[in-house]
């Protein structure tokens, strides 16, 4: 774990994780192909996190115009992610980081 903050313009730490659909996702597969919006959030179904996810959902067409993909990461399990996506019609990837390994790579564990 690094205490160093990631600087604007620096390379994103690579990771692999299982998505809400059960597929293994590797950040490396998206780099150079898309503009990546990666965000960490504490928990599915909480008011602030729901509002944030729905904001990305509501702006999905605009994001696609910029060739962007959104990847949301929380410690919730895949089943919770599936229910959250279904209830709020979330069109983007949700990853489970139950061991908080991705969060540590991004020095984001203190915020969640």
Catalytic residues: 49
Asked whether 93 and 71 are in contact (CB, 8 A), the reply is yes
Nearest to 36 by CA among 47, 25, 22: 25
Tokens representing residue 71 in the block: 């990847």
Nearest to 24 by CA among 98, 101, 95, 112: 95
Between CA 44 and CA 84 the distance in angstroms is 6
């Amino acid at each position: 774990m690094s205490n160093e903050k990631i600087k604007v313009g620096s390379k994103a730490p690579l990771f692999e994780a299982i998505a809400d659909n059960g597929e293994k996702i590797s950040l490396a597969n998206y780099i150079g192909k898309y503009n990546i919006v990666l965000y960490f959030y504490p928990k599915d179904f909480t008011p602030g996190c729901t509002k944030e996810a729905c904001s990305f959902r509501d702006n999905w067409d605009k994001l696609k115009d910029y060739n962007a993909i959104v990847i949301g990461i929380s410690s919730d399990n895949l089943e919770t992610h599936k229910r959250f996506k279904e209830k709020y019609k979330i069109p983007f990837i949700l990853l489970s980081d139950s061991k908080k390994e991705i969060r540590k790579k991004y020095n984001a564990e203190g915020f969640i």
